[in-house]
Structure 1
Amino acid sequence: MSTECSLCGTPLTSMDTLLGENKLSDGGILCNKCLNKTTNINKDLVSDLGNYNITQIRNMLLNEGLEQELAIETEQFQTIQIAHPRIVETPSQSIQFTYTPDEPSRLDEIKDQIVATGAKLSLLVNSEVEELANVLDKDEKLIAIAEGKYLHNNLDGIVVSTERRIIFVDKKFFGGVFENEFPLHKVSSVQHDTSLMSSTLKVYTPGFTAEFKLYIKSAAKNFFDAIQDYIGRPEDQIQAKIQQQQTIQPPPIHPVSEQKEDSAVIFEQLEKLGKLREMGVLTEEEFAEQKKKLLAKL
């Protein structure tokens, strides 16, 4: 009999197993906390849980996370300021972000890079995301990430790629980290495929093929598209490409000041404000206040 929750990995208590109503079709058992979480998503599970397995339960949570991706609980934050984006973790079903002017940490930089990839991650891999600050070198830039299962050992975690290597990371509940990497210059090819509910990514290296089942249908293709220019390149070519990208200067950021500014800059800022409002980052009141300040500078 299982002694840990099949979803979160916490040790089961007598209250979790007393009535036997938390048991799944594959023999797994949910703790009461995870049971409440799943039944809040699908009320039918209250009487029909035994007909579902852990994969179906996980997919329900992942799908719920996609629907709530931009649902930021603003009461937990102070007034939002327009500055450099930083990711924060909220109780909703996916990784969220807000804006803060603080000096970024290495983890902040990595989370910014995750946002730039457009990847969809659930709160189930928050610990793996945090572990990336210890896994990636300071000069490594994350270019692809996905949540899924490493079929070689059936571990659940995240598969990420930088410009130099593909890495699978699983943060175990009771401590310890499983990490496996595949240098891109040794990768001969990468294949991707999709199914009804998920997708598959295969990484071919001499003598070994690493296969990953990704929990989002489009994840494998998006991952492949991000890394295809680096696959099989010699190390010196990869390094030259990295250095070339680092020499490209980002566009200048026009700060909002109390001085009169060029009208083109003001309208650019107004357009950004509108996008932040559409994404739900700014409330209508915050949008109106910032808009008023910008229009006063014309």
Structure 2
Amino acid sequence: MSERSRFDEIKDELEKLDVNPTFFARKEIRELPNVLSTDERIVYLVEGRNKTTKHHIILVATDRRLIFVDKEMLYGLKVEDFSYDKVTSIQYEKELMLASIDIKVSGDIVEIDGVGKYEAELFCEKTRDFMSRPKEYFQPKTKPSVLDQLEQLGKLKENGVLTEEEFLEQKAKLLEKL
């Protein structure tokens, strides 16, 4: 899959999520095809300003992790990501016009301000949902090996679920994969 088509997928995902990044986030958004895994999906995205560096950044919640993306002309690209089990708290504070998000992760607090009020609240809700999921949810799903599948077929035959003919047919199909 080319980078351009992955970029188009990302733009479509953001549109479906009703996320409309500003002109200031375009450099970071363009980097997402290089940052996200091919099967990783965006849950929500906000943009704001890192309180420490004063750089404009995007904060991306995916179905696997939180990602901070900072693309500055002079400093290059800085990407930090954290699995949800490393995030101990996330909160937002509404100010007069905008909001800020504080994320406590691995003992540090990352503060982002200049976030839209509605977007900050929604981002925190979606992130909390993933934080509450068991660690196993984020483990890659592995397909059973051919040997595991053959073993399962044998048990099905042994328990009378499969006939000898069905067993031999399925076994032949599995052995073709080798």
Give the TM-score, by structure 1 length.
0.43
Matched, 1:155 2:30: no
Matched, 1:127 2:27: yes
Give the equivalent residue in structure 2 for 1:181: 81
Query: What is the rounded CA distance, in whole Å, between the counterparts of 2:24 and 2:103 in structure 1?
Result: 24
Give the equivalent residue in structure 2 for 1:197: 97
Q: Secondary structure at the match of 2:129?
A: coil
Give the equivalent residue in structure 2 for 1:170: 70
Q: Is there any run of 5+ residues in structure 1 with no aligned partner, and where? A: 1-103, 244-298
Question: Bigger relative contact order, structure 1 or 2, given CA contacts below 8 A and separation 6+?
Answer: 2
Matched, 1:138 2:30: no
Give the TM-score, by structure 2 length.
0.70
| CA offsets 1:203-236 (integer angstroms, 9 cap, x no match) | 1123111111133222210111222211154431
Q: Following superposition of structure 1 onto structure 2, how do residues 21-40 of structure 1 map, counting pairs within 5 Å?
A: none
Report the identity percentage: 32
Does structure 1 conserve the Cα–Cα contact (< 8 Å) formed by 2:24 and 2:56? no
Q: Which amino acid aligns with 1:180?
A: E
Does structure 2 conserve the Cα–Cα contact (< 8 Å) formed by 1:194 and 1:218? no
Query: What is the rounded CA distance, in whole Å, between the counterparts of 2:28 and 2:96 in structure 1?
Result: 26
User: Structure 1 184/214 Cα, relative in aligned 2: closer, same or farther at 3 Å?
Assistant: farther
Q: Which amino acid aligns with 1:121?
A: P
Matched, 1:222 2:115: no
Does structure 2 conserve the Cα–Cα contact (< 8 Å) formed by 1:140 and 1:163? yes
Does structure 2 conserve the Cα–Cα contact (< 8 Å) formed by 1:192 and 1:220? yes
Q: Is there any run of 5+ residues in structure 2 with no aligned partner, and where? A: 143-178
Structure 1 vs Structure 2 CA RMSD: 2.2
Does structure 2 conserve the Cα–Cα contact (< 8 Å) formed by 1:166 and 1:181? yes
Matched, 1:108 2:8: yes
Give the equivalent residue in structure 1 for 2:111: 211
Query: What is the rounded CA distance, in whole Å, between the counterparts of 2:80 and 2:106 in structure 1?
Result: 15
Q: Which amino acid aligns with 2:40?
A: E
Aligned residues: 139
Query: What is the rounded CA distance, in whole Å, between the counterparts of 2:129 and 2:117 in structure 1?
Result: 22
Query: What is the rounded CA distance, in whole Å, between the counterparts of 2:84 and 2:114 in structure 1?
Result: 20
Does structure 2 conserve the Cα–Cα contact (< 8 Å) formed by 1:164 and 1:185? no
Q: CA deviation at 1:153?
A: 2.2
Q: CA deviation at 1:239?
A: 4.2
Q: Which amino acid aligns with 1:219?
A: E
| CA offsets 1:223-268 (integer angstroms, 9 cap, x no match) | 112222111544312348x99xxxxxxxxxxxxxxxxxxxxxxxxx
Query: What is the rounded CA distance, in whole Å, between the counterparts of 2:64 and 2:52 in structure 1?
Result: 22
